[in-house]
Amino acid sequence: MKLKNKVALITGASRGIGRSVAKGFAHEGAKVFLVAHRDEKALKQTIRNINDSGGEAEGGLFDVGNHEEVRRIADAIERRFGGLDIVVNNAGIIQPTPILEIKPEQWEQTIRTHLHGTFYCTVEMVNRFMKEKRSGKIVNVAAAAALRGYYGVADYASAKGGIISFSLNASKELLRYNVQVNVIVPVARSRMIDSLAQYYGGHFGATAGTKIKNVAAPEVLVPSFLFFASSDSDYVTGQVLTADGGSTA
């Protein structure tokens, strides 16, 4: 029970990586507040599964790219749990599009959801819950596209690269408050992988799409997130861990 009596906020928690991490944290004793943007049915199912298994979960639909919405998340956490120990910034979107066809609206929406959302949730939750008690864990989610070139994801990769840079700087500034900030670069089955596989299949052939999609289930990532969220990483901050089965090696 590495997270017993801890409270964790997990964004993008309705499906895929976020859902797996939520279940894994609850299994390790954490009380979890789960956030999604649109998929209320899937979010409610995840919350129900955790509660039915003896865990403690609550959550709702919020737009993490909106600062006022993030403040509402913090209010809800404070009412329900009274405090917060862990933030997993996992919320994101992807719309694979050739770089010369990306419209300003798409660029702004992608950056806002990924990068603004990570910034808002980090700053709001640290100020509200972590700074005074001198304790906290921030786990931010980047992507392999931030580390090497891909096709059709210039906006997504830029946002994820920004998350890495933001996290490195945040880790330095939050040292004084004993808040560790780390990054995971995950590769596992998710709706984002499905979108990318469809794009590659349409542009480069079925084999290319199948190769993108042929990755592990998201459950394999839980130990990496658990490491950064638990006391095991109290002496680790400002690090980027690629949990990708060697795809970026």
CA angle 47, 50, 51 (to 5 degrees): 85
Q: CA–CA distance from 220 to each of 49, 146, 184, 189, 215 (Å)? A: 19, 21, 13, 10, 10
Are the C-beta atoms of 8 and 87 separated by less than 8 Å?
yes
Identity (one letter) of the amino acid at 102? I
156 carries an active-site annotation: yes
Catalytic hit among 120, 150, 151, 156: 156
Q: Which of 172, 185, 159 is nearest to 238 (CA)?
A: 172
Q: CA–CA distance from 240 to each of 75, 112, 141, 143, 243 (Å)? A: 30, 22, 9, 10, 10
Are the C-beta atoms of 46 and 22 separated by less than 8 Å?
yes
Identity (one letter) of the amino acid at 136? G
SS3 198: helix
Are the C-beta atoms of 141 and 17 separated by less than 8 Å?
yes
Per-residue buried b or exposed e for 11-38, using 16+ beta carbons within 10 Å of the residue's own CB: bbbbbbbbbbbbbbbbbbebbbbbbbbe
- Dig out the tokens for 199 from the structure: 């794009």
What amino acid positions are annotated as catalytic residues? 156
